[in-house]
Each structure stands twice: as structure tokens, then as C-alpha cells.
């Protein structure tokens, strides 16, 4: 499984567990599906990391937010949700502080992503060129796969069906529930591809 890929000598998921434990979080739920037993066997109950680990077993793939419906009880406080293929040194306590001060129900950890265009970009008005920009770059604030989510925002997650985080965010926005973005400036990498991993 992707979270077991080693970063240096240590599996990615161990880096995540240690980072979460160092933030003072005492209990982790890990959603597992394909080859999940490898993760479960490696991490166990979390005792060696000083944290309590439980497993949410997906019988079918539930997407990035669907596994939240498998939590054994509804949280009473905001929870941290992080994708399993993220390598980061993010300050989770700063995320939670921001989440509280913004009076948000769902806070998206966000990275600044820049796309460099290797050509001159032409702006037109009809068939007339009005401007040419030499190799411009565009910047976007993008989801980092890290979230602080309050119980109210979780209420829309359907039980036992595929549901992605983008759907959870959109549904909360449609309901008028406050959603914020928290800029992440620390080390962050998605190891979704071989190039990203390297």
C-alpha cells in the first residue's frame, strides 16, 4: 500500500503517525482497504508510538471522505483528517488554532501551487491581439489533503457509500456552513507519483 512506501528508512505512514502523536493527538483511526492488513500488522495498536490506533475497514472503496461514516462514534470536537499519501511537517496545532479562531466548521489545509507556462501567452479581443505575456506563471491555492473538521460538517457524510472530500466541502458550502483555508508553509509533498516520491 502507498502509505507503506519508505521515505528514507521509515514508511510514510509511520512519519504521519509520529507527527500526529507529537501534536498531542491521542487516538488515530486509519481507513484501510486493499492490503490494509500490511498497515495494521506494521502499526499494531500504536503502543510503540505512544498513541492509540484503530482501523476502519472499508468493504468497498469509500473515497476520501466516505470512511468518516465508519467512525464508531460521532466526534464531539474537531478532528484531523489527512490523506495517506501526504508527507508533511505541517503544524497541526496551528491548523486547529486557526480553525477555532476562524469559527470554521471545516478548514482545508492549502498549499500554494505555481504553474509555469513555457510559452508566450496571447490575450485576444475578437481576432485582435491585445497583449502577449512572456512565459507567465499562474498561482493557485490547492487542497493539501489535510483538514480540520468539526462535528457539524461531518453530518452530511452518507453511511457506507463512496464520498469524496470535494463533495463534503461542496455540500457544506451549499448549506452555508463556514469553510476556511489554512495556508501550509512547512514541508509538504504528495507522493502520488514516482517523481513526487523521488
Model pTM? Answer: 0.90
pLDDT exceeding 70 applies to what percent of the chain?
100
C-alpha cell at 131: 497583449
For the stretch 66-112, pLDDT in tens is: 999 999 999 999 999 999 999 999 999 999 999 999 999 999 999 99
139 has pLDDT over 80: yes
Say what the alpha-carbon torsion angle 28, 142, 112, 12 is, to the nearest 10 degrees.
Answer: 30
Decide: residue 143, CB within 10 A, 0-12 exposed, 13-18 middle, 19+ buried: middle
- What is the spatial distance between Cα 116 and Cα 138, in angstroms, rounded to a whole number? 7
For the stretch 64-76, pLDDT in tens is: 999 999 999 999 9
Amino acid at each position: 500500500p502507498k502509505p507503506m512506501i519508505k521515505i528514507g528508512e521509515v514508511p510514510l505512514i509511520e512519519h504521519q503517525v509520529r507527527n500526529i502523536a507529537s501534536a498531542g493527538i491521542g487516538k488515530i483511526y486509519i481507513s484501510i482497504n486493499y492490503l490494509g492488513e500490511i498497515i495494521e500488522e506494521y502499526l499494531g495498536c500504536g503502543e510503540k508510538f505512544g498513541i492509540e490506533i484503530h482501523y476502519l475497514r472499508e468493504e468497498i472503496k469509500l473515497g476520501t471522505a466516505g470512511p468518516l461514516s465508519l467512525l464508531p462514534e460521532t466526534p464531539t470536537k474537531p478532528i484531523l483528517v489527512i490523506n495517506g499519501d501526504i508527507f508533511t511537517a505541517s503544524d497541526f496545532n496551528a491548523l486547529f488554532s486557526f480553525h477555532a479562531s476562524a469559527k470554521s466548521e471545516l478548514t482545508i489545509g492549502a498549499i500554494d501551487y505555481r504553474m509555469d507556462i513555457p510559452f508566450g501567452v496571447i490575450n485576444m479581443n475578437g481576432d485582435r491581439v491585445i497583449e502577449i505575456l512572456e512565459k507567465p506563471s499562474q498561482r493557485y491555492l490547492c487542497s493539501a489533503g489535510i483538514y480540520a473538521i468539526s462535528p457539524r460538517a461531518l453530518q452530511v457524510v452518507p453511511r457506507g457509500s463512496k464520498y469524496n472530500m470535494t463533495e463534503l466541502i461542496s455540500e457544506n458550502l451549499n448549506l452555508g456552513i463556514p469553510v476556511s483555508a489554512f495556508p501550509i508553509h512547512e514541508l509538504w509533498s504528495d507522493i502520488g507519483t514516482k517523481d513526487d516520491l523521488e
